[in-house]
Amino acid sequence: MANTEAHAEVHTEAHAEAHPEGQQHPLGIYIKIWALLFVLSACSYLVDYVGLQGYLRWFLILLFMLMKAGLIVAVFMHMMWERLALLYAIAVPPILVMVFVFLMTHEADNTFSLRGLFFGAGP
Amino acid sequence: MTQAEATNTGAALAPPEGLGGVVADWSSDQRAFKKVPWGKAMMWIFLLSDTFIFSIFLLSYMTVRMSTTVPWPYPSDIFALSFGGEPIPLILIAIMTFILITSSGTMVLAVNYGYRSDRVRTMIYLLITALFGATFVGMQAFEWTKLIVDEGVRPWSNPFGAPQFGSVFFMITGFHGFHVSVGVLFLFIIARKVWRGEFDTGKRGFFTSRKGNYETVEIMGLYWHFVDLVWVFIFALFYLW
């Protein structure tokens, strides 16, 4: 009986070693993404340093922001190697925040025009 | 014994991939997040809830900024710093951004060396990450001091423009700084565990009474990268916008 147990233990250990659950990837990809994040950060800082304004500024800020966020989640947080069940469970709910953003832009516009009307400070 | 071997066929079946895999995982009447330790799944779910908290902060910031009739202060000038010459716009925040990204890189190295069971390198990179994090918090303290003491920014008023600027600034950067501080604390705790070899010997933790392993370093890494991720959004939407 004791012999069987010992055998089973050895078996599970060997099994665990053969299929590690952790994420193991070559260092190269991390270094490349790290460098890319530096470049993207520098780019987004340059947007301010150069002094771009208006839609171009907003577009570039959002572009660099989303690229950086995507790289961090996909590579540094290993999401691109996880199963889709986890990816969808985590990545889909934040997209719904966009509905909230839509609602609040209209709410804020309304407040702004009301303030203009009653305070006489608006356009 | 023979019977046990005959029934143990679970490992041989590879779960399906793609969209069919999502359906299969969720409808399997087993754990939904396969090939992921429970701690990692729970950390992801915590990070999702944290995402909502920061989303709400940024949303309220958007709302007050859009609805104020007073001009919004220009962060580029407020966070400028001069090193003896012309003030460089937003330079302090840029340096903080680079520090946080550097710390994310060292964290990734720590996770990687952890899975290679390279105890010493894992500990060293965890400590470097913690030091970068502490530097970040230190610079934030400097920034807050400068704004509160020198410029007279308060949550209800400031000399630059819309009074909401102060409350939004203190709330968002304060909550993020708190996250970084907690992260530094946890980094030191995990680094101590690695140093004592507790993930190699399977010593039970003082808090959970469970045996830790190097997956703990990766879970710690998830939190740390999330802190960096949130800063990416704060940097873009609050400082650059």
Binning chain B into helix, strand and coil, the percentages to the nearest 5 are 70, 0, 25
| A94 and A109 within one domain | yes
Distance, CA of B121 to CA of B194 (rounded, Å): 10
CB atoms within 10 A of CB B167: 17
CB atoms within 10 A of CB B130: 24
Indicate which CATH number applies to the domain containing B86.
1.20.120.80
Longest dimension (CA), chain B: 81
Distance, CA of B38 to CA of B44 (rounded, Å): 10
Which residues constitute the domain of residue A88? 83-123
Which tokens sit at B87?
A: 């003030």
Q: Please tell me the total count of domains within chain B.
A: 1
**B105 lies within 8 A of chain A by CB:** yes
Q: What angle do CA B196, B183, B142 make, to 5 degrees?
A: 125
> What was the ipTM of the complex prediction?
0.86
**A35 lies within 8 A of chain B by CB:** no
| A68 and A47 within one domain | yes
| A114 and A64 within one domain | no
Which residues constitute the domain of residue B62? 38-239
Find residues 66-85 of chain A whose CB sits inside 8 Å of chain B: 68-69, 72-73, 76-78, 82-85
pLDDT, one tens digit per residue, over B173-190 is 999 999 999 999 999 999
Find residues 110-139 of chain B whose CB sits inside 8 Å of chain A: 111-112, 115-116
| Residue B23 covered by a domain | no
Find residues 167-226 of chain B whose CB sits inside 8 Å of chain A: 214-215, 218, 221-222, 225-226
Distance, CA of B191 to CA of B225 (rounded, Å): 17
| A20 and A36 within one domain | yes
pTM: 0.86
pLDDT, one tens digit per residue, over B11-57 is 556 778 888 888 888 888 888 888 888 889 999 999 999 999 999 99
Q: What element of type H or E holds B128?
A: helix B119-145
Cβ atoms of B214 and A22 within 8 Å: the answer is: yes
Distance, CA of B21 to CA of B14 (rounded, Å): 10
